[in-house]
Amino acid sequence: MNFQTQSTLPVSQPESILKEMNEWLTETLGDSAEFMIPELAEMFLEDAPSLVQMIQYALSQNDVVQVRNAAHTLKGSSASMGLHIFSKHCKEIETQAKTGNLAAAAKQFPQFEAEYMQVVSALQTIVE
């Protein structure tokens, strides 16, 4: 079995994150997207930090279940907002946890966290 130990996913720039998210939400929500995007961004910024911290802590404690659950939750919320690259990073962490390979998940965490920080940077421009 071949376990991926480092993500090959890119780390996005805030501008591309906003563009992808706006396109996705406009397609999904139609005319209401303009009004919903700031609210969705604010909710994500409120909920995501604790989940990222939970993943980091659970990795340090070798807690497969917590890593998997937190990554799964982040994967879904980010995908529903059109944050597809971050969602893929979450899926990689979740998949490694599902296979019990937390060492691989821990190696992927820095790139996951870098993408998360870019998402935060992008979303903060919406809610300010």
Q: What is the dihedral of CA 104, 93, 107, 57, to 10 degrees?
A: -110
pTM of the model: 0.88
Instruction: Judge whether 111 and 119 are in contact, CB under 8 Å.
Output: no
Which structural domains are found in the chain, ordered by start? Answer: 14-127 (1.20.120.160)
Phi, psi at 92, each rounded to 5°: -60, -45
**pLDDT tens-digit map of 34-75:** 999 999 999 999 999 999 999 999 999 999 999 999 999 999
